[in-house]
Amino acid sequence: MILAAGGINNSIVVVVLASAVVYGTPLLYAALGELLAERAGVLNLGVEGMMLVGAVMGFWAVQRIGNLALSIAVAALAGAAMALIHAFLVVTLRANQIVSGLALTIFAGAAGLSSYLGNDLNLADQPARHAFAAVFPHSWQTTPVIGPILLQQTWLVYASWVCVALVALYLNRTRLGLNVRAVGESPAAADAMGIDVTRYRYLHTIAGGAFAGVGGATFSLAITPSWVDGLTSGAGWIAIALVIFAFWRPTLCLVGAYFFGAFSGLPFTLQSRGVTIAPELTQALPYVMTIVVLVLVSSAGARRRLGAPGALGTPYVREER
Amino acid sequence: MIRIERRLEQPRWLTIAVPIGSVVVAVGVMTIVLLVTHHPPGHTFRRLVDAAFVGQDDLNNTFVSATPLVFTGLCAAIAFRMQLFNIGGEGQLYAGAIVGAAAGLVLGNHSGWLSVPAMIAAGAAGGAALALIPALLRAFLATNEIITSLMLNYVAALVLDYLIFDSQSYWRDTSSATAKVFPQGKNLPAAANWPAAHLGGIVLPFGFLVAVVLAVLLWVLYSRTRFGFEVQVIGDSPRAASYAGMRTRRKVLAVMGLSGALAGIGGASQDGDFRHTLDPRGLSAAGYGYAGIVIAALGRYNPFAVVVIAFLIGGLQNAGYTLQGADFPSGLVGVMQGLILFCALGGELLIRYRLRLPRRRRVEAAEVVA
């Protein structure tokens, strides 16, 4: 493929950036979803589980129905259904958000529902009937630099850019988005303004699950394309880190996702060129950097300026505020 | 709509009824899932219980599975009591396993009387050291400990991989024939293998006994000392605690350190009791740390309840491993654990709040008027 183009397209920077976009895309979807939930004040640590269920159901749909767009819809629905459990527990039943999110990952994740479904539907060791392929013709893909990085991608990548723009516009330029931020920042004040806190939290948690489902399906329908147990291998947790890394901003999520994506692909690219570097070193960087960023933004002033939702992780009970 | 009101007193019977009810409801839901997916529920559950708790070998394996879960369960329970959400038990267990294995390798030529306590101390130190990172950040820079401790799980897992797979570290076996084909840790010397207690045919791992003793000590610490009282107050109301002059910062460091140490001893017990080497794949595949949080929550952060529930969940996990195969639905164990926890989380509402149907109240009001 790109190797044939030779020259600059074969340079390490281009190869790393191209793989950054590929591996960053599932992170981007999942992080956008988590961002929506967190902006409404709901921390959902079940991203990994929701992604895995999205991955397995998306793959099932493509084997059954064969239509890729429909399969993505199925994956989104599956993720949303998982998120609904979390929403019910933490919004209606006021359960601890951390425990509920972890429970969701155990329930839905590898060795949970996703592997139950995958094995029960006999999805392992099957080649995908359809998979997302590059959108643009081959001749475009050999364009220097932007060819491999931008023009060789699938619809899922381009759709993710649209999603980033839509989420950013929604949160920053619409009345509804303003309400969401109010709910996440100060549910009591939002309630006094007549905003239905419960409904906003439900809807955004569920939307977050749908995005996570699509992120999972990005693995099973585009990157691998197949299903194995636990195929996201921790991407859901990176997505949670990414939201903080991006200061709860959709556009920064895009940058962060590719940045993290680059680090997860880097060691393999380097290895193929005879540079041996322990993959753990580059793989650990996103986590360490997230901690550093978190420390930098954790002074109260910085938190407010940078957008950490004030009521993140706390249930809202009207009578007890 | 049903009205939800806060209870002034939490009835004691509910704290026992809710976990039992959770299991019952989870089994009920699972039965439906099994029926829908054409698995015979009765047969499946019988196999599950058989493989977990019936027969000596199965029980012994359940103790093996339960031992790390008691440690990580206690780790989560004592921190969560103070509303300190240490979800880094996973990483702290790895850290304990790394440092504990080092102690075992260094001191293994001495007698077990020296090397076993040294491994416990080393494991505790390793786990505590890792836990102190989020603790210090939380205490002095107000950084949220949830995410930092979570991130450190991954860092610790990668360090573990690095030591065995991608470096010539002290822990790695570089001489034996198998190690040349597949990278593995050095085997611990015999003196570093922890003893086990034999009761009839039941083998109780030394780590399990240590965990039970620690659970008792923690119960005393939390219910009979000033330290425990202050931790409880800080957890319930940080503002009241600071008005009363309690030193929150110190408590954060102490509780996180203790919490990490518990998980760390669990890691050392993995080396000494069961694996006899530093085993990255085995440790990270098991997910002990996350399961520990679930166990702590199910036990409502009570140390004794943690021991009991760790044993039950350990049985479930052990059965999951044993029954892995074509004819047993895979993933069943995770689904069961999740369902039980969901129900318990929902049931928590019943313990803390009272549900009232407004219709009955209206009738009462009418009677008063009449």
Contacts of B337 in chain A (CB under 8 A): 106-107, 112
Q: List all residues 6 or more positions away from B209 whose beta carbon is below 8 Å from its beta carbon.
A: B197
**Are B6 and A240 an interchain contact pair (Cβ–Cβ within 8 Å)?**
no
Per CB-CB distance under 8 Å, the chain A contacts of B148 are 291, 294-295
Q: Which amino acid is at B349?
A: L
Give residue B366's pLDDT. Answer: 52
Mean pLDDT computed over B279-308: 88
- Mean pLDDT, range B67-91, rounded to an integer: 93
Task: For residue range B80-94, list pLDDT tens digits in order.
Answer: 999 899 989 999 999
Whether the CB of A287 is below 8 Å from some CB of chain B: the reply is yes
Asked whether residue B355 carries a pLDDT value surpassing 80, the answer given is: no
**Length of chain B, in residues:** 370
Assigned token pair, A67: 């239509």
Q: State whether residue A111 sits within 8 Å of chain B by CB.
A: yes
- CB atoms B346 and A89 under 8 Å: yes
Q: Does A57 touch chain B (CB under 8 A)?
A: no
Per-residue pLDDT at B222 exceeds 50? yes
Q: Is A271 on the interface with B (CB under 8 A)?
A: no
A:302-321 residues touching chain B, CB 8 A cutoff: 313, 319-320
Contacts of B320 (CB under 8 A, 6+ apart): A111, B332, B333, B334
Q: How far is the alpha carbon of A174 from chain B, nearest alpha carbon, in Å?
A: 30
Closest approach of B160 to chain A, Cα-based (Å): 9
B325 touches chain A (CB under 8 A): no
For chain B, give the mean pLDDT: 87
- Whole-number Å distance between alpha carbons of A231 and A26: 12
CB contact, 8 Å: B239 with chain A?
Answer: no
pLDDT at A305: 64
Task: State the pLDDT at residue B368.
Answer: 53
DSSP states along A237-277: HHHHHHHHHTTT-HHHHHHHHHHHHHHHHHHHHHHHTT---
State whether residue B342 sits within 8 Å of chain A by CB.
yes
Which one, of A216, A25, A246, lies nearest residue A113 by Cα? Answer: A216
Q: Is the pLDDT of residue B171 over 80?
A: yes
pLDDT digits (tens, 9 = 90+) for B238-277: 888 888 888 889 999 999 999 999 999 999 999 988 998 8
Token pair 């029954």 is found at: B323
Phi then psi for residue A170, to 5 deg, are: -60, -50
- Say if B348 is an interface residue toward chain A (CB within 8 Å): yes
Return the sign of the alpha-carbon dihedral for residues B351, B353, B354, B356.
negative
Does B148 lie at the interface with A, CB-CB under 8 angstroms?
yes
Q: Which residues of B touch A266 (CB under 8 A)?
A: none
**Which of the listed ranges A203-207, B21-25, B292-296 does the model predict with the highest average pLDDT?**
A203-207
For residue B287, list chain A residues with Cβ-Cβ distance below 8 A.
106, 111
Quick check: B6 and A320 CB within 8 A? yes
What CA–CA distance (Å, rounded) separates A2 from A6?
A: 7
d(CA A141, CA B278): 47
Quick one: average pLDDT of B15-34? 87
pTM reported for the whole predicted model: 0.88
Q: What percent of chain A has pLDDT above 90?
A: 47
The pLDDT of residue A263 is 82
Contacts with B331 from chain A: Cβ below 8 Å = 111-119
Mean pLDDT value across residues B123-140: 95
Predicted confidence (pLDDT) at residue A73 exceeds the cutoff of 60: yes
Q: How far is B190 from chain A (nearest CA, A)?
A: 31
**Nearest-CB residue to A241 (from B151, B297, B342):** B151
Shortest Cα distance, chain A CAs vs residue B6, angstroms? 9
Kindly list the residues from chain A whose CB atom is less than 8 angstroms away from the CB atom of residue B294: 99, 102-103, 106
| Any B CB within 8 A of A288 CB | yes
pLDDT at position B321 is 82
Confidence class for position B28, pLDDT limits 50, 70, 90: very high
Determine whether the interchain pair A298/B146 forms a contact, defined as Cβ–Cβ distance below 8 Å: no
pLDDT-derived band of residue A3, with 50, 70 and 90 as boundaries?
Answer: very low
Structural tokens at position B80: 């969560």
Q: pLDDT, tens digit, for every residue of A270-296?
A: 777 777 777 888 888 888 888 888 888
Cβ within 8 Å, pair A294-B144 = yes
Rounded to a whole number, what is the distance in Å from the CA of A237 to chain B's nearest CA?
Answer: 8
- pLDDT for the residue B237: 85
Contact A300 B142 (CB under 8 A): yes
Q: CB neighbours of B156 closer than 8 A, spacing ≥ 6? A: B90, B91, B92, B94, B95, B130
Q: Which of B338 and B356 is assigned the larger pLDDT?
A: B338
What secondary structure, in 3-state letters, does chain B show? CCEEEECCCCCHHHHHHHHHHHHHHHHHHHHHHHHHCCCCHHHHHHHHHHHHHCCHHHHHHHHHHHHHHHHHHHHHHHHHHCCCCCCCHHHHHHHHHHHHHHHHHHHCCCCHHHHHHHHHHHHHHHHHHHHHHHHHHHHHHCCCHHHHHHHHHHHHHHHHHHHHHCCCCCCECCCCHHHHHCCCECCCCHHHCCCEEEECCEEEEHHHHHHHHHHHHHHHHHHHCHHHHHHHHHHHCHHHHHHCCCCHHHHHHHHHHHHHHHHHHHHHHHHHHHHCCCCHHHHHHHCHHHHHHHHHHHCCCCHHHHHHHHHHHHHHHHHHHHHCECCECCCHHHHHHHHHHHHHHHHHHHHHEEEECHHHHHHHHHHHHC
Of A105, A241, A299, the CB nearest to B142: A299
**Region B159-170: what's the mean pLDDT?**
88
> In this predicted structure, what is the pLDDT of residue B324?
77
Between these two residues, B219 and A310, which has the higher pLDDT value? B219
Residue type, B254: A
Identify the residue with better confidence: A153 or A32: A32
Using the Cβ of B346 and the Cβ atoms of chain A, whether some distance falls under 8 Å is answered with yes
Task: Evaluate if residue B286 carries a pLDDT over 70.
Answer: yes
| Residue B328 touches chain A, beta carbons under 8 Å | no
A100 and B167 within 8 Å at the Cβ level: the answer is no
Residue B300, phi-psi category: left (phi > 0), alpha (psi -120 to 50), beta (remainder): left
Tell me, yes or no, if A162 comes closer than 8 A to chain B by beta carbon: no
The answer to whether B329 contacts A320, with C-beta atoms less than 8 Å apart, is no
Inform me whether the pLDDT recorded for A134 exceeds 90: no
Tell me, what's the pLDDT at A46? Answer: 94
Q: How confident is the model at residue B8 (pLDDT cuts 50, 70, 90)?
A: confident
Residue A103 contacts B, CB cutoff 8 Å: yes
Q: How far is A17 from chain B (nearest CA, A)?
A: 23
Distance from CA of B205 to the nearest CA of A (A): 26
Mean per-residue pLDDT, B169-183: 82
Hey, how many other C-beta atoms are within 10 angstroms of the C-beta on B17? 14
Q: Which of A287, A289, A299, A314 to mutate to test the interface with B (most CBs of B within 10 A)?
A: A287
Q: How close B65 comes to chain A (CA, Å)? A: 16
Q: Which residues of B touch A114 (CB under 8 A)?
A: 331
Confidence at A4, pLDDT banded by 50, 70, 90 = very low
Interatomic CA distance for residues B319 and B49, integer angstroms: 8
